[in-house]
Amino acid sequence: MREPLEGLDATAEAELAVNEVEPASDPDIGRLRAALRELEAAKARVERDARRAADELREKLVLDLLPVLDNFDRTLAATEVGRDATEAMLQGLRQVRSQFANVLAKFGVERIDAKHQRFDPRVHDAISIVPVNHATAHDIVIDQIEAGYRFGDKLLRPAKVIVGRHMPRYH
């Protein structure tokens, strides 16, 4: 019996063994090679399904965590306007929010900040349109109500935005 070769997985070693079989058993070699191809295809399917299941699980987790991040944003905004909280509390909230956003980033979540960007219906959800005086502000995001998020190439949630619409005045 041959010693295992370093750096080869079991399937590669099996294929080497098939190639070492004597020519008298050619039909057997064909069946062995077909069985190896089927094994490799099954292995690839299992790995692909496992990656897909893991991605779906992470996506569900992230979708559950996004409202928490939104609430941090709202709390920070209200506290900054009212200034009724101590500066230490405000700083602590900012740190927690930053830490939470970093955790999401480690999972591959990217925030879509839309304010002052051109409206893009692929990543923005216009919840309101407001008139603007200058043509340069036409189709520009005037305000962002909720940030959007991507997970890799997939849009998890579009940014909820208010878009400017230039309406020329007629005399």
pLDDT surpasses 90 at 82: no
Q: Of 7-16, 78-87, 102-111, which range is least confident?
A: 7-16
pLDDT digits (tens, 9 = 90+) for 17-74: 555 555 546 788 889 999 999 999 999 999 999 999 999 988 888 888 888 888 778 7
pLDDT score at 88: 63
Higher pLDDT, residue 62 or 155: 155
Strand partners of residue 75 = none
**Distance (Å) of CA 130 to CA 22, 123, 138, 148, 164:** 81, 19, 10, 20, 5
Q: Which strand (E) or helix (H) includes residue 15?
A: helix 10-19
The residue with greater pLDDT, 94 or 148, is: 148
Q: Looking at the predicted structure, is the pLDDT value of residue 170 above 50? A: yes
Helix 87-106 / helix 26-82 crossing angle, nearest 10 deg: 170
Per-residue pLDDT, averaged over 122-135, amounts to 93
Domain ranges of the chain: 7-107, 109-171
CA distance 109 to 28: 51
Please report, rounded to a whole number, the percentage of residues in the chain having pLDDT higher than 70: 79
- Give pTM, 2 decimals: 0.56
pLDDT at 10: 58
pLDDT of residue 1: 46
- Mean pLDDT across 104-122: 91
The reported pLDDT for the residue numbered 141 is 96
Local confidence band at 13 (pLDDT 50, 70, 90 cut-offs): low
Please state, rounded to an integer, the average pLDDT across all residues of the chain: 82
The total number of residues shown for the chain amounts to 171
How far, in Å, CA of 78 to CA of 159, rounded? 20
CATH topology (fold) of 109-171? Nucleotide Exchange Factor Grpe; Chain A, domain 2 (2.30.22)
